[in-house]
Copies of this chain bind each other. A is one copy, B any other.
Amino acid sequence: MSSSDARASSSNTFAPGGPDLALGPCAACAARGLAFCNVLEGEDLSRLLQITSETNAGAGQAVFYEGDEASHVYNVTEGVVRVSKMLPDGRRQITGFLFPGDFLGLSHDDAYAYTAEAVNAVRLCRFRRDRLLQLFDELPQLEKRLLGMAADELAAAQDQILLLGRKTARERVVSFLLGISKQAQRRGESGNPVGLPMSRADIADYLGLTIETVSRMITKLAKDGVIELPSSNKVHFTNRNALEDIEMGEEA
């Protein structure tokens, strides 16, 4: 493999000066409003911070690999993470892109069932899994929140299953572009135009297609006048209604 397979490196535990100062790192966190920790405040939050450390990963670096001991749970605070699984012969499927506020690694298993890699520069909060599970007993609202987020993820996974099982290449690409836009809106951006931080290869492996097909479909959508491409990694929606029709197979 290339240099891109190095692990996420730097990591240091927060050392809160005391209960009141503890919110420190979170006060400045852009993902705070979206993340599971947003149900906690004051003393409770500082409780969580005691088992929290921070990690960074550069573009292409792995946060962890499929099969690694599932010792930590992570929370994305900056950047985009891709989660993928591989078949022995190298075929890759990206099961999701994670944005600020999303968590990963809450496996029920001893080992991670998937690989997590940074798409661009990524910052994450890291929690020891066993300690976090213990903390649920003291902070039940945390567990409730995580169950809610797991339910949301399950719903998203089922949408992706519908996409992969039954949608055409064109519909898949449109669903993806609209999804990226909605995610940007959740983060407080306009969502139009929207940047595509990931490569065509990543998009292809997420949509169960090839790079060439993704490229062709994007080009075709631009020719059809429903999007514009200021650059290859930026999309401007010129007819969102038409796109929403295409997404569900209700093209004119």
Contacts and interface: CB of A to CB of B under 8 A. Distances in A.
Contact of A158 (B87, B114, B150, B205): B114
A92 to B, nearest CB: 7
A165 to B, nearest CB: 3
Interface in A145-183: 146-148, 150-155, 157-162, 164-167
Contacts of A250: 88-89
A107 B151 contact: yes
Chain A interface secondary structure, helix, strand, loop or mixed?
A: helix
Contact of A161 (B137, B164, B166): B164
Contacts of A140: 136-137, 140, 143
Nearest to A113: B155
B165 A93 contact: yes
A144 B135 CA distance: 12
A72 interface: no
Interface of A: 83, 85, 87-89, 91-93, 95, 106-109, 113-114, 136-137, 140, 143-144, 146-148, 150-155, 157-162, 164-167, 205-208, 248-250
